[in-house]
Amino acid sequence: MKRISSFFLILFLLTFTSVLLSETITVIDMVGREVTVPSKIERIVTTYKPATQFVFALNAQKMLVGVDNTSTKEKLFTLIYPEVESLIEVGSKREGVNIETVASLNPDLVILFPHNQAEFTASKLETLGISTIIINPESLEEIRETNRLLGEVLGLEDRAKTVDDQFDNILKILEKAKNLPEDQKKVVYFANSQLLDTVGKNMMQTDIIEWAGGINPAAKSDAGFIKISPEQLIAWNPDFIVTSQKFQGDIDQLYKEVKYQNVKAFKNKQIYRFPSILEPWDYPNPSSYLGMLWLATKIHPELFSDIDFDKVADEFYDTLYGVPYSELLSKIEK
């Protein structure tokens, strides 16, 4: 009798364990944490804008119940899914996350930023029984990895593959620029919010420049964000200057700076601001791939005379967000 009871107890435990395991999946997130999340996710909270962008690219925006403090106002999101404006704001990467607000939303998953006490925030949420995942889309390859990881976690692998194919299509177009001999590449200086604020090695903007067939002169410096002197910019003498969309200056006024008149980019009127007014293409998000192609057409137009950039942009946005790029722009301009 005892043997029969033991058999049924073991059978019950095995069945219970199997059911429990089938209701969760375990993945390694982008800071190396082994995390267990529900296998069926219906309620998501994002804590910074790039996380929201990846959710939108996977067409999972209807799962959002809370977002960071800026996503409710982002033009791309409000045009595609106006309901985002009424979502609860939970904080930000810079200011921190309001744990109580997040908990009140009863999310199945919280997607966290890669820095600024993310792991501490994750541990506090997990003590409340809330699953978390940390993403880190700080390079072009990590953008692809983020998309694939979230596709797996959200049960949207096929959709993630469709998005990844768009990334791959652009990389194939850019191979002829990326593989140019060094002496045919253009020196491209990236200006952040100010002309003398730039980026060094191991930065996504450097990846963008190199894939576009350029050389970032600051990549020989330290990694991360760098502040340089006017003399250093003059010494680098870049062929092109490309500014962040968040650049605070006016390019027409910039051309009038007397001290830079002998710099090639100034002399030849080759200073450009990253598009677009819809969303920044020089920040870590899916559209960085479009930014790369846009830059390549500026610095190597002879290589891309057969590419209709507007058509590529329309297909990219239509695939990721369900609306062509030109149509979204027209809505802003009205």
For 19, the token pair is 């059911």
Q: 114-118, 172-176, 207-211, 265-269: which range is least confident on average? A: 114-118
Residue labelled with tokens 């949420």 = 125
Average pLDDT, the chain: 91
Q: Where are the alpha helices (DSSP H) in 128-225?
A: 140-153, 157-178, 204-211
Question: In terms of Cα–Cα distance, which of 106, 108, 118, 109 is closest to 30?
Answer: 118
Q: How confident is the model at residue 13 (pLDDT cuts 50, 70, 90)?
A: low
Which is more confident, 20 or 237?
Answer: 237
Give the pLDDT band (50/70/90) at residue 300.
Answer: very high
What are the pLDDT digits (tens) for 54-77?
Answer: 999 999 999 999 999 999 999 999
As a whole number, mean pLDDT of residues 219-225 equals 83
Residue among 282, 71, 114, 268 nearest 197 (CA): 282
Task: Match 């469709």 to its residue by tokens.
Answer: 162
Q: Tokens 């002998």 map to which residue?
A: 262
- Cα dihedral across residues 77, 78, 84, 89: positive or negative: positive
Token pair in block for residue 261: 């008149």
Is residue 2 pLDDT above 80, yes or no? Answer: no
Quick: pLDDT tens for 181-209. Answer: 999 999 999 999 999 999 998 888 999 99
pLDDT category at 221 given cuts 50, 70, 90 is confident
pLDDT at 94 over 90: no
Residue 262 exposed, middle or buried by CB count within 10 Å (0-12, 13-18, 19+): exposed
Using CA atoms, how far apart are residues 290 and 275, in angstroms rounded to an integer? 10
Burial class for 251, CB neighbours closer than 10 Å (0-12, 13-18, 19+): middle
Instruction: State residue 224's pLDDT score.
Output: 84
Q: What is the DSSP letter of 200?
A: -
Q: What pLDDT band is residue 294 in, cutting at 50, 70 and 90?
A: very high
Amino acid at 105: L
Within 182-257, where are the H helices?
204-211, 230-236, 251-254
When computed from its CA atoms, the radius of gyration of the chain, rounded to whole angstroms, is 23
**C-alpha distance across the termini of the chain, in Å:** 80
Collapsing DSSP states into helix, strand and coil, what is residue 145?
Answer: helix
Contact residues for 184 (Cβ-Cβ < 8 A; gap 6+): 213
Phi, psi of 238 (to 5 degrees): -65, 150
d(CA 321, CA 326): 12
pTM of the model: 0.89
